[in-house]
A = this chain, B = another copy of it.
Amino acid sequence: MINVTVWGENVHEHKNEKVKSIYPNGMHNCIADFLNKHSEIKAKTATLQEEEHGLTQEVLDNTDVLTWWGHCAHDQVSDEIVKRVQKRVLEGMGLLVLHSGHYSKIFKTLLGTSCSLTWREAGERERVWVSQPGHPIARGINKCIELEQSEMYGEPFAIPTPDETIFISWFEGGDVFRSGVTWKRGNGKIFYFSPGHETYPIYHNEEIQSVITNGVLWAKAEGTKWIDSCPQVPIDSAKEPIKKGN
């Protein structure tokens, strides 16, 4: 069983009528619900408004994969929680960063770059092309996903070279974007997937649901937990006998 924590900023859903109508229980519950349809996944939710944003050490220790959606309240996420999440990713917890999460503290912290992009909110058509057929994250997607209305996210996307580019998007207005990319940091697998603007029903799209479900299955830790320290090796524990010089 893969334990997933679906983190939601949970702000737009309470302020914007359109978002509320699309996601009456919040985007986080929509995401957790479709993840829970998979027999190997057990998804719970956590939100910004909870104590410690719902991400206590205990919750994180019991999380195999964390998904992250945030937008207008990135700055309200405490630096301490960001460090805690970063540490768990380096230990091996998987991380899926969704849509406007490209500008979240945790994403920028793990990647080290600005993670900027260009954008346009026009409800235009997006076509999400599979660039790595047969990759487990693309399982079940036939060539591309069509989204009738989407926010445009465009290049340049200021990220380090991804380990793999799984999806690249085409936009009606003439732009392109690396919409599905992966990295490994420490023992943790990271998948960024851009479709998911709050004013369109994108997380109700079954193919989008498949990709996120696949992403969770892919991102679960496959090795053992790495407790990372910076140990001094005592001289008499050196593998080859040595003496202290001056």
Partner of A158 from B103, B122, B158, B228 at Cβ < 8 Å? B228
Stretch touching chain B among A21-29, A39-47, A63-71, A171-179: A171-179
Q: Which residue of B lies closest to A186 (CB)?
A: B113
Q: Contact flags (1/0) for A131-146 with B, using CB distance below 8 Å?
A: 1111111110000101
What are 24 A-to-B residue pairs whose CB atoms are below 8 Å?
A: A103-B230, A109-B112, A113-B185, A116-B229, A119-B232, A119-B233, A122-B242, A123-B244, A130-B156, A131-B156, A132-B156, A133-B156, A133-B226, A134-B226, A136-B222, A160-B184, A161-B164, A161-B184, A165-B165, A172-B240, A173-B235, A174-B238, A174-B239, A218-B222
Instruction: Give A103 to B229 CA distance when docked, in angstroms.
Output: 12
Answer yes or no: A3 CB below 8 A from chain B CBs: no
Q: Contact flags (1/0) for A100-117 with B, using CB distance below 8 Å?
A: 000100000111111011
Partner of A90 from B113, B155, B162 at Cβ < 8 Å? B113
Q: Are B90 and A114 in contact (CB under 8 A)?
A: yes
**Copies assembled:** 4
Q: Are A233 and B120 in contact (CB under 8 A)?
A: yes
Instruction: List 6 A-B pairs, minimum CB-CB distance, nearest first.
Output: A123-B245, A174-B239, A134-B226, A173-B238, A174-B240, A116-B230
With A122-B243, A123-B244, A244-B123 in contact, is A134–B238 under 8 Å at CB?
no
Which B residues are in CB contact (< 8 Å) with A163?
Answer: 161, 163
Instruction: Give A127 to B176 CA distance when docked, in angstroms.
Output: 9
Interface residues of A (CB under 8 A from B): 86, 90-92, 103, 109-114, 116-120, 122-124, 127, 129-139, 144, 146, 149, 152, 154-158, 160-165, 168-176, 178, 183-187, 218, 222-226, 228-235, 238-240, 242-246
Partner of A238 from B122, B157, B230 at Cβ < 8 Å? B122
Q: Are A144 and B239 in contact (CB under 8 A)?
A: yes
Instruction: Give A158 to B230 CA distance when docked, in angstroms.
Output: 9
Q: Which residue of B lies closest to A164 (CB)?
A: B161
Instruction: Give A28 to B183 CA distance when docked, in angstroms.
Output: 35
